């Protein structure tokens, strides 16, 4: 029986948007099982990232994306090697804003960085929302 090709990625996925979706779809196409580690609220504090949407809702949305097979929590920077071993991961992959940052994982599995989707980010969405509120909700 041919082993499934398992892909693993990590992220906050706050205010889920098409940049996240396009990444996850491309990641799934690298193999045939996609595991997504969603950053916990506590870990986002450590990352210095303020999230709008709490972990349980961010994880639930990602879990229901068609190309996602499993969601696990991301609690810290250090869990990646044990996750790769625990889930028998073949490919660790991230958007290329992380280019090179996780090359140390190459001794455990393939490491792939894919181009980010241009002109969309959670930060940009927040800025646009503020402009929208200023104009229409004053």
Q: Catalytic site residues?
A: 47, 49
Binding of ligand C2G at residue 92 (CB under 6 A)?
Answer: no
Among residues 10 and 55, whose Cβ is nearest to ligand C2G?
Answer: 10
Task: Confirm if 58 and 14 have CB atoms less than 8 A apart.
Answer: yes
Among 7, 8, 19, 111, the residue binding ligand C2G under the rule CB under 6 A is 19
Among 6, 7, 8, 11, the residue binding ligand C2G under the rule CB under 6 A is 11
Considering only the C-alpha atoms of the chain, give the largest distance between any 2 of them, rounded to a whole number of Å.
Answer: 62
Which residues, in sequence order, are CB contacts of 101 under 8 Å at separation 6+? 94
Task: Confirm if 94 and 121 have CB atoms less than 8 A apart.
Answer: no
Q: Number of residues interacting with ligand C2G: please give it, by CB under 6 A.
A: 17
Binding of ligand C2G at residue 25 (CB under 6 A)?
Answer: no
Binding of ligand C2G at residue 40 (CB under 6 A)?
Answer: no
Binding of ligand C2G at residue 20 (CB under 6 A)?
Answer: yes
Which residues, in sequence order, are CB contacts of 100 under 8 Å at separation 6+? 113
Comparing CA positions, the residue from 100, 99, 38 lying closest to residue 65 is 38
Binding of ligand C2G at residue 51 (CB under 6 A)?
Answer: no
């Amino acid at each position: 029986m041919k082993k499934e090709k398992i892909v693993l990625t990590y992220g906050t996925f706050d205010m889920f948007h098409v940049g996240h979706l396009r990444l996850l779809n491309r990641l799934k196409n690298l193999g045939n099982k996609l595991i997504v580690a969603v950053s916990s609220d506590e870990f986002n504090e450590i990352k210095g990232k303020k999230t709008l949407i709490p972990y349980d809702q961010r994880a639930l949305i990602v879990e229901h994306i068609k190309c996602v097979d499993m969601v696990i929590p991301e609690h810290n920077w250090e869990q990646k090697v044990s996750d790769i071993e625990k889930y028998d991961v073949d490919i660790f992959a991230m958007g290329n804003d992380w280019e090179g940052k996780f090359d140390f994982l190459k001794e455990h599995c393939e490491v792939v960085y894919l181009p980010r989707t241009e002109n969309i980010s959670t930060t940009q969405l927040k800025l646009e929302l503020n402009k929208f509120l200023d104009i229409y909700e004053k």
